Amino acid sequence: MQIRLFLLAKDAGPAQKSSLEALTRSLSLAIQRANFFLDFTRDRSKTLESLDLAKVIEAAVEAVDTQSTEIVCELSTGLQVTAHTCDLAFVLANLIQNAREAMPVGQHGTV
């Protein structure tokens, strides 16, 4: 599907290109979310990991479609947490997505 969108965009006009790029971003986000769900349903017997919270937050922000709003990260370094990486990233991405959807278009949020 992504390859098909890429090939269509090569010969598209500016308005069509913009729409195809939006579709490509939406598809990428859907793939990321599907992978989050697959990871979430996998075997839970893995051990917890010590994680850099700033890196997990940055990954969660990248996973969220922020076209209509800007998400600014002002993160402290060296914050360590013990968690399952995918679970924590999924929860944070969901919180960021909900906050983004509640913000007016053109506004920005700070993490």
Structure-model confidence comparison of residues 1 and 72, the more confident one: 72
pLDDT at res. 66? 63
For 104, the 3-state DSSP assignment is: coil
Q: How far apart are CA 87 and CA 65, in angstroms?
A: 19
Q: How far apart are CA 30 and CA 34, in angstroms?
A: 6
Q: How far apart are CA 17 and CA 10, in angstroms?
A: 8
Report, as an integer, the average pLDDT of 104-110. 76
* pTM across the whole model: 0.56
- Per-residue pLDDT reduced to its tens digit, 2-29: 677 767 777 888 878 778 787 887 888 8
Residue 105 is classified by DSSP as T
Q: How far apart are CA 64 and CA 66, in angstroms?
A: 6
pLDDT at res. 80? 92
- Per-residue pLDDT reduced to its tens digit, 43-102: 666 678 898 998 888 888 887 766 667 778 888 888 899 988 778 888 888 888 888 778
